Chains A and B, each alone.
Chain A
Amino acid sequence: MGESLGIRRNWPIVSLMIAALVWMTLDQAGFGRLLGFLLPDETTLLYERETLATLMGQHLVLAGVSGALALVIGVALGLMLITPAGASFRDLVVSIANFGQTFPSIAVMALLVPIMGYGWKPVVVALVIYSVLPVMLNVVAGIENVPPAMVDAAQGTGMNARQRFLAVQLPLAMPIILGGVKNMLVIAVGAATLGAIVGAGGLGVPIMAGANQFKPALVLEGAIPSAFLALIIDRTL
């Protein structure tokens, strides 16, 4: 589908990045040597209390669960907003979603911890609140971007509203919708590092430890895989 719409992906580079990410996650000693090469003066190169594989797993679960929820909620809200009945709520819903995106995630987590306790739950809620907007807006923009003449032609051939939506509007809106999903996932992967603050684990843990103890190698141990993860999503979708 992507190919037919003229999007070219550089698969060799993506494969290389995936290979690099797998290597740093699994060959901890090797990754430690690389960090030692980058920062020759450092003695502590790796976070000792958790393996990178465990942290990566936690990170993927945090970003994946939030991303999936944001996708479902964002698409549902977007579809609701393009119906004639939903159009009147558009300003309200968009304002709320805008507010959700401007309100700092870290503050959302801090507010939720007393209610939900430490762990992954407040992180997922905060990430979902933060990620719904791009998905929802791109669903609306994608559908509305379909030329009216195209919908008219579809109607003229005798397609009913459901057939027009599934066979014409949705496929033509897909590149824009996927663009929104991609942005959302890239954001979610980066923002999931905040989970470390409320004890949800993830790649933010070595970053925070490194920042607190002035050990830059630990910051890189969390930041490099996180950046690779974001790049891979950006180049794959």
Chain B
Amino acid sequence: MIRLEHVTKCFAENTAVDDVSLEIKAGELAILLGPSGCGKTTTLRSINRMTDIDSGTIFVDDINVLEQQPDELRRRIGYVIQSIGLFPHLTIARNVATVPRLLGWDAERTNKRVNELLEMVGLDPALYAMKHPRELSGGEQQRVGVARALAADPAVLLMDEPFGALDPLSRQRLQVEFRALQRELGTTVVFVTHDIEEAVLLGDRIALMDHGRLIQFDRPETLWLSPATPFVSSFFGEEFALKILSRHTVFGIALERVSPDGLAQVTAETSLKDALATMVSSGRDALSVSDGLGGSAGVLTFSALVHAVKE
């Protein structure tokens, strides 16, 4: 779907991206992660040619982007940056309609699409369409940013720290909702962040970068269990295991058929991180898992939890 081959980009003396090759599959949410200055944003911006690379090739859908007219290429690739990217002098509807208007859609089709998109990102069109960006909260603005990027139904979405400026609560809500929306639409997403938690929560795979080089591109579980270099483990730190736990739920783990009496109860949808926290706070090494009908489906033990994650 997206293929980078030996991509290199220098700014003056400094090599921002150094011989990066990676392939992102259709429908995948790929994270570009790393310390600031590692080249993740430059890599992202090279895909829609906001930055032109010095050498290498980039394919989107098997089409070489370097052979495309940049403006036309960008209309087919969604692009979301921090909330400042909305145009303050235009209404929400006009902001979302940016790309359809550039593509010359008629008013009826554009309006229909704008309403559809606002509903998709959880904003009531009747309430929001005619407002201006400054009347919206940061979280609402970023929903509009996502809607605008999705307007022409792009197969690829590029996101540069889209939730970075939000307060923790809205960030978390948007992350979860965005993940669900992305799965539903099947959009291929390249997502830049420096937040490990966000990367592990959202990413199908994480490309860890450092000093312009791609260090490892794998599922978070693989990065955790088989780090390619010591930098990988030191970057993710000791807490990596806990963050991995947040990616998985109790559902699917073999439960023991013992008496749940006196154990704290969780549901099958509870994340393993929360399950572990419940064990710690209840002072027991086991939990009762509800069967959704008021009873207990079985008992989740600490050792079952640990083994499930390792696998």
B5 interface contact, C-beta 8 A: no
Q: How far is the CA of A167 from the CA of B102 in the complex (A)?
A: 11
- Between B48, B75, B89, the greatest number of chain A beta carbons within 10 A of the residue's beta carbon is seen for B89
Interface string of A147-175 (1 = CB under 8 A from B): 10110111111111001000110011000
Please name all residues of chain A whose beta carbon is closer than 8 Å to the beta carbon of B48 when the two chains form the complex.
Answer: 156
For A158, give its contact among B71, B87, B88, B132 (CB under 8 Å): B71
For B81, give its contact among A4, A153, A158, A163 (CB under 8 Å): A153
Please name all residues of chain A whose beta carbon is closer than 8 Å to the beta carbon of B79 when the two chains form the complex.
Answer: 153, 156-157
- Between B71, B72, B81, the greatest number of chain A beta carbons within 10 A of the residue's beta carbon is seen for B71
Within 8 A of B (CB), among A1-42: 4-5
B287 interface contact, C-beta 8 A: no
Whether A155 touches B81, Cβ cut-off 8 Å, given contacts A163-B102, A168-B87, is: no
Q: How far is the CA of A156 from the CA of B102 in the complex (A)?
A: 12
For B87, give its contact among A4, A150, A155 (CB under 8 Å): A150
Please name all residues of chain B whose beta carbon is closer than 8 Å to the beta carbon of A171 when the two chains form the complex.
Answer: 89
Q: Are A4 and B132 in contact (CB under 8 A)?
A: yes
Q: Are B50 and A153 in contact (CB under 8 A)?
A: no
Please name all residues of chain B whose beta carbon is closer than 8 Å to the beta carbon of A150 when the two chains form the complex.
Answer: 84-85, 87-88
Q: How far is the CA of A171 from the CA of B91 in the complex (A)?
A: 13
Q: How far is the CA of A157 from the CA of B132 in the complex (A)?
A: 19
Within 8 A of A (CB), among B41-89: 48, 50, 71-76, 79, 81-82, 84-89
Q: How far is the CA of A152 from the CA of B84 in the complex (A)?
A: 10
Chain A binding site: helix, strand, loop or mixed by DSSP?
helix
Q: How far is the CA of A154 from the CA of B85 in the complex (A)?
A: 8
Q: How far is the CA of A171 from the CA of B132 in the complex (A)?
A: 14
How many residues of chain B get a CB closer than 8 Å to chain A's CBs? 22
Whether A158 touches B75, Cβ cut-off 8 Å, given contacts A149-B81, A163-B102, is: yes
A-B CB pair tally, cutoff 8 Å: 56
B205 interface contact, C-beta 8 A: no
Q: Are A157 and B89 in contact (CB under 8 A)?
A: no
Q: How far is the CA of A182 from the CA of B258 in the complex (A)?
A: 83
Q: Are B148 and A157 in contact (CB under 8 A)?
A: yes
Whether A149 touches B71, Cβ cut-off 8 Å, given contacts A156-B48, A157-B99, A158-B99, is: no
- Between A149, A150, A152, A153, the greatest number of chain B beta carbons within 10 A of the residue's beta carbon is seen for A153
User: Nearest-CB distance from B107 to chain A (Å)?
Assistant: 17
Please name all residues of chain A whose beta carbon is closer than 8 Å to the beta carbon of B148 when the two chains form the complex.
Answer: 157
Please name all residues of chain B whose beta carbon is closer than 8 Å to the beta carbon of A160 when the two chains form the complex.
Answer: 71
Q: Are B102 and A155 in contact (CB under 8 A)?
A: no
Please name all residues of chain B whose beta carbon is closer than 8 Å to the beta carbon of A147 when the two chains form the complex.
Answer: 84
Known A-B contacts: A150-B84, A158-B76. Give 13 more (CB < 8 A). A149-B84, A152-B50, A152-B81, A153-B79, A153-B84, A156-B85, A157-B99, A158-B75, A159-B71, A159-B98, A163-B102, A167-B87, A172-B87
| 10 contacts across the A-B interface (CB closer than 8 A) | A150-B87, A152-B50, A153-B85, A153-B86, A153-B87, A157-B99, A158-B75, A158-B102, A159-B98, A167-B87
Closest 6 CB pairs of A and B: A153-B85, A158-B75, A156-B79, A158-B74, A149-B84, A171-B89
